[in-house]
Amino acid sequence: MSVVALDVGGTLMKGAVVAPDGTSTAAEQRPTLRQPDTVEGILAFAADLVAAAGTPDAVGLAVPGIVDEQNGIARYSTNLGWRDLPLRAIATERLGLPVALVHDVRAGALAEAEFGAAQGMQDFLFLPIGTGIAGTAVIGGRPYRGADGMAGEIGHSPVPVGDEPCACGQRGCLETYASAAALVRRYGTPGVTAADVITSTDPKARAVVADAICALSYALTTYTMLLDPAVIVIGGGLAEAGDTLMEPLRAELAARIAWRMPPRVVKAALGATAGRLGAAISAWRLG
Ligand SMILES: [Zn+2]
């Protein structure tokens, strides 16, 4: 049963036709169109992939922001500028196929559970660290959505590192110290990337990275105490730093947690394809 899968990001859409073993064909990227053309861009891309697939069984769409998966409604996205958009109904009508609408981070978690770093795990945290930080708590094998689809916003939990203002309106959020954007902003040298900051030997860069590790270790300790994950899967752009980031994070988490074993902390296995694969998994599960 092949499906069409599309991961819609703030700047890029990643699409493919995906087979049940997770292999992709017709993989393609297109820029995400600005409003008012965003939805048309998504639908046109999906329609082209449906044509490439021949007779796909379903379509999976992963989108950012706040997503009501039950009702197929893209509730809100700052980046894409939509609000209460009945995207599943619109796409079903246009494409003539069953459509699954899924939150992009939850899609990534589904993919890591099925094909990636959390295979066989019933309880884990999938935590992509990029421009921002938002995670998915997988509890008992299911991505936890919360009462209003807003679960997983651990990036906006406060950490005792400082009280720098966050774009969300609060102060001292994890995201203000540990996101890729925060590393760049706090280091403050133009043209320097988050990866540069992580590998730099400059004392100012070391201090910025130390704050990030400290902030993450606090947030992950809280998560561990509340939900007892088997593994914490770090994804997103910052995970590409690999053990340069993971080793000190594991050490600081282990040092902070006194009376139990800390969960394993690993790098996500699927990288930038996780959202698309998760969209495919959501589409298969319609059948
Ligand atoms: Zn915040």
pLDDT in tens, 53-92: 999 999 999 999 999 999 999 999 988 999 999 999 999 9
What is the structure's pLDDT at 128? 96
Cα(54) to ligand 1 centroid in Å equals: 44
Regarding whether 188 and 79 lie in a shared domain, the answer is no
Residue 208 domain-assigned (yes or no): yes
Regarding whether 127 and 262 lie in a shared domain, the answer is yes
Cα(275) to ligand 1 centroid in Å equals: 23
Regarding whether 279 and 243 lie in a shared domain, the answer is no
Regarding whether 242 and 223 lie in a shared domain, the answer is yes
Cα(170) to ligand 1 centroid in Å equals: 5
Helix, strand, coil shares, percent, the chain, to 5: 40, 25, 35
Contacts of 32 (CB under 8 A, 6+ apart): 8, 9, 10, 11, 12, 13, 38, 41, 80
Cα(144) to ligand 1 centroid in Å equals: 20
Regarding whether 135 and 100 lie in a shared domain, the answer is no
Regarding whether 145 and 76 lie in a shared domain, the answer is no
Residue 145 domain-assigned (yes or no): yes
Cα(171) to ligand 1 centroid in Å equals: 7
Residue 103 domain-assigned (yes or no): yes
What is the structure's pLDDT at 148? 82
* Strand runs labelled E in 210-256: 231-235
Average pLDDT, the chain: 96
What is the structure's pLDDT at 79? 84
Cα(268) to ligand 1 centroid in Å equals: 24
Q: How far is CA 233 from the centre of its chain?
A: 11
Calpha distance 64→8 (Å, rounded): 7
Helices (H) and strands (E) in the chain, counts: 10, 13
Residue 7 domain-assigned (yes or no): yes
Regarding whether 279 and 259 lie in a shared domain, the answer is no
Regarding whether 280 and 232 lie in a shared domain, the answer is no
At residue 109 the predicted structure's pLDDT band, cuts being 50, 70 and 90, is: very high
Cα(181) to ligand 1 centroid in Å equals: 13
Calpha distance 100→102 (Å, rounded): 6
What is the structure's pLDDT at 287? 77
What is the structure's pLDDT at 78? 83
At residue 282 the predicted structure's pLDDT band, cuts being 50, 70 and 90, is: very high
What is the structure's pLDDT at 149? 84
Calpha distance 145→80 (Å, rounded): 21
Cα(174) to ligand 1 centroid in Å equals: 7
Residue 113 domain-assigned (yes or no): no
Q: Looking at the 3D structure of the chain, how many domains does it have? A: 2
Helix (H, G, I), strand (E, B) or coil at 262: coil
Structural domain boundaries, residue 246: 121-268
Residue 156 is part of a domain; what is its CATH number? 3.30.420.40
Cα(177) to ligand 1 centroid in Å equals: 10
Regarding whether 45 and 145 lie in a shared domain, the answer is no
Regarding whether 228 and 131 lie in a shared domain, the answer is yes
pLDDT digits (tens, 9 = 90+) for 184-238: 999 999 999 999 999 999 999 999 999 999 999 999 999 999 999 999 999 999 9
Residue 10 domain-assigned (yes or no): yes
pLDDT digits (tens, 9 = 90+) for 120-145: 999 999 999 998 999 999 999 999 99
